[in-house]
A and B are shown apart, each in its own frame.
Chain A
Amino acid sequence: DIQMTQSPSSLSASVGDRVTITCRASQSISTYLNWYQQKPGKAPKFLIYAASSLQSGVPSRFSGSGSGTDFTLTISSLQPEDFATYFCQQSYTTPWTFGQGTKVEIK
């Protein structure tokens, strides 16, 4: 299985801050990398696909980059509704696997 490792596991930030989350794959996955946002008690919400393509309706303050094994999710100016847990997911090969999540908390 391809292991997906996110860092940090959690972070504290203020509204307006720039936030960067890293996801590393245990082997190259090209750009088969997706990002999700999950709020407590809710299903994940799909944000970004193919490493850098923004899903329709997702605010432009979210962006993704990377290829191969190293990827990043950036929130350019953190908003109150962005406090949540973020997961990366690889779809290069089955079993599709997820990172362990990064919890973004209010400072």
Chain B
Amino acid sequence: QVQLQESGPGLVKPSQTLSLTCTVSGGSISSGSYYWSWIRQPAGKGLEWIGRVYTSGSTNYNPSLKSRVTISEDTSKNQFSLKLSSVTAADTAVYYCARASPGKGYYDTWGQGTLVTVSS
């Protein structure tokens, strides 16, 4: 059974870059065909799709964040990562990593989530 675990700093200063890693256990990130994704949720609000990296390494990003986002995979470590640059307080949220199958379009596996606060 595949499990996902987010890690990274819980506090980031404004204008800096937010960096998170999702470690995949119980399966290989490079086997099968999956979208490895990042989703965030500000406190008390809904879910926002940030973007995804496909098993092949190709990426798709939310146009609203595209200029600031990079998602990449490290198959040697069985991880994928998120970098969000020039952060502001509006980027404060719980960040989730999740897995979806392209043909099905739903997220069947989620990490527990990690709170990132943007503050000086």
Contacts and interface: CB of A to CB of B under 8 A. Distances in A.
Interface string A18-52: 00000000000000101010000011111001100
Contacts of B110: 43-45
Contact of A98 (B49, B51, B104): B49
A50 B108 CA distance: 13
Nearest to B110: A43
Contacts of A50: 104
Nearest to B35: A96
A94 to B, nearest CB: 5
A94 B45 CA distance: 20
Contacts of B62: 94-95
Interface size classification for chain B: 20 to 34
Contacts of B113: 42-43
Contacts of B108: 46, 55
A interface, over-half SS: loop
Contacts of A49: 104-106
B105 A96 contact: yes
B55 interface: no
Interface size classification for chain A: 20 to 34
A46 B46 CA distance: 15
Given A1-B63, A43-B96, A96 B111 contact: no
B47 A34 contact: no
B111 A44 contact: no
A69 interface: no
Nearest to A92: B105
Contacts of A97: 49
- The CB with the most chain B CB atoms within 10 A, among A43, A92, A98, is that of A43
A89 B98 CA distance: 14
Interface of A: 1, 32, 34, 36, 42-46, 49-50, 55, 87, 89, 91-92, 94-101
Interface of B: 45-49, 51, 60-64, 96, 98, 100, 104-108, 110-113
30 contacts: A1-B64, A34-B105, A34-B106, A34-B107, A36-B107, A42-B113, A43-B110, A44-B47, A44-B107, A46-B106, A49-B106, A50-B104, A55-B108, A87-B46, A89-B106, A89-B107, A91-B100, A92-B105, A94-B49, A94-B62, A95-B51, A95-B60, A95-B61, A96-B49, A96-B105, A98-B46, A98-B47, A99-B46, A100-B46, A101-B46
